Each structure stands twice: as C-alpha cells, then as structure tokens.
Amino acid sequence: MLNWGSGANNPKFKQRRQNLVDKLRDKGIEDERVLSAINMVPRHVFVDTALEDRAYKDSALPIGKKQTISQPYTVARQTELLEAKPGEKVLEIGTGSGYQAAILCELGAEVYTVERHKKLYEKARSTLRELGYSVQAKLGDGTKGWSAYAPYDAIVVTAGAPVVPDDLVDQLNVNGRLVVPVGSEERQEMVRIIKIRKDEFERERYSSFKFVPLIGEKGWKG
C-alpha cells in the first residue's frame, strides 16, 4: 500500500518510528494494529522539512492555517477508540496534514475525509497520493459530515467541538463509533458514541485533551 518513494524511506527515521511506538506502548496504547500502523507511516513526510527532525517526538507540530498535526499519542488513542476494522468505511473530520488518514488506511479502512482549508486540503491530498494511499477527500464544512457516502462504520473528529454535531451521529451505521473531543476551546474531553440501534446510543467519556477548535456551522464560529 505504502509507496516508499519521495524520501519516505529515509533510514534515519526508521529507528525513531520504533522508539515512538515503544513510547506510545509505555503510555498505555495497547492495540498492536494501531502501533504497527504508526510504525509504518512516515510522519516526517507530513510536516515541513524544517520540522522533520521533530516528527517522531510525541508532540503536536504546526502545519499552517493555525492548525497542527496532532500529538502521536492523541492520534493513537483516538484510533484505538475508533476500533476501525479492515474494509470498514471511516469518515475523518479535519484532514489537516493527512497523517491520521494514512494511519486509517494502514488499518485497512475505506477512508473519507473532509477539510475546510483549501491549502491544507490540497497539500494533504497530494501527500497521500504520493505515498500511495487511496482516500476520498472533500473540501468543505466537516461539522456537517459527508452525507453522500453515509452511513459510516466509524467517524473520527480531529478538532475540539462545543457539542457533538448531530449530523455526524445521524451518519453513523448501526454499531458505528463516533470519536470526538467535546468541551471548551481550551480543553476537551474525549467522547465515544456507539450507535446501538437507530435511535439508541451509548456514550462513553475518556481523558482530557487539547485540540484546535472545530470550526463550522455545527461547531465553533470562525
């Protein structure tokens, strides 16, 4: 799946990826499929070349437009909670750099992703294509989901929402999972919603995180 051209297979980063995986395991990430995906995806390709030496630190990095590539632990934890299985249809809200979408591809998911910033959308789509990942990408308001391809088996939101967007819940398949950080603009609680039946949902709460705000009609106002 992964095309190791375009500097992706720079040998100096291979051990750094493994060290990052070991650190994430020590911090409590248990899903070996998620850890294997993180060990496969060249995170340094998704950041500016000036930042690539920091790509395998467990920290968020700027990608422009006041957005970030999330801390690897955050990506791993959200992905772990998402429980994406091979062949499942997964919607990502907030493409950003494209890194999370690549992780989902490595898990064998059929990935759909929405980004509101044109520059980030174009760059992420180009990076994913160069690496050989097949992703359906859309420029638009992610708070409204992507109804044309609904329902989804899983939906992950990579920005902090003031409330859970109803449109995303509506676009879940039965037994589908929605993972979304919810709270203030300063701090959010990770929430997982599982659709048990058409009108029955289970809501779970996890640790606190800090995300950039989810901007859109059903999120924060830009």
179-189 per-position pLDDT tens digit: 999 999 899 99
pLDDT exceeds cutoff 90 at 222: no
Give residue limits of the domains in the chain: 11-209
Placement of tokens 């950080």 in the chain = 181
Residue pair 178/164 in contact (Cβ under 8 Å)? The answer is yes
Query: Which burial class, exposed, middle or buried, applies to 156 when counting CB atoms under 10 A from its CB (0-12, 13-18, 19+)?
Result: buried
pLDDT tens digit sequence for 20-61: 999 999 999 999 999 999 999 999 999 999 999 999 999 999
| Global pTM value | 0.94
- When pLDDT is cut at 50, 70 and 90, the band that residue 7 belongs to is low
Catalytic residue among 6, 36, 59, 70: 70
Single-letter code of the amino acid located at 122: E
pLDDT tens digit sequence for 142-198: 999 999 999 999 999 999 999 999 999 999 999 999 999 999 989 999 999 999 998
Backbone angles phi, psi at 127, to 5 degrees: -60, -45
Among 44, 25, 45, which Cα is nearest to 33's? Answer: 25
Q: Which fold has domain 11-209?
A: Rossmann fold (3.40.50)
Residue pair 66/77 in contact (Cβ under 8 Å)? The answer is no
Residue ranges of alpha helices (H) inside the chain are 14-26, 32-40, 72-82, 99-106, 118-131, 166-170
User: In whole angstroms, what is the distance from residue 88 CA to residue 86 CA?
Assistant: 6
Residues present in the chain in total? 222
- Is 70 annotated in the active site? yes
CA 12-75-217 angle, to 5 degrees, is 135
User: In whole angstroms, what is the distance from residue 159 CA to residue 178 CA?
Assistant: 13
Strands 67-69, 89-93: pairing is: unpaired
Residue pair 69/61 in contact (Cβ under 8 Å)? The answer is yes
Strands 110-115, 135-139: pairing is: parallel
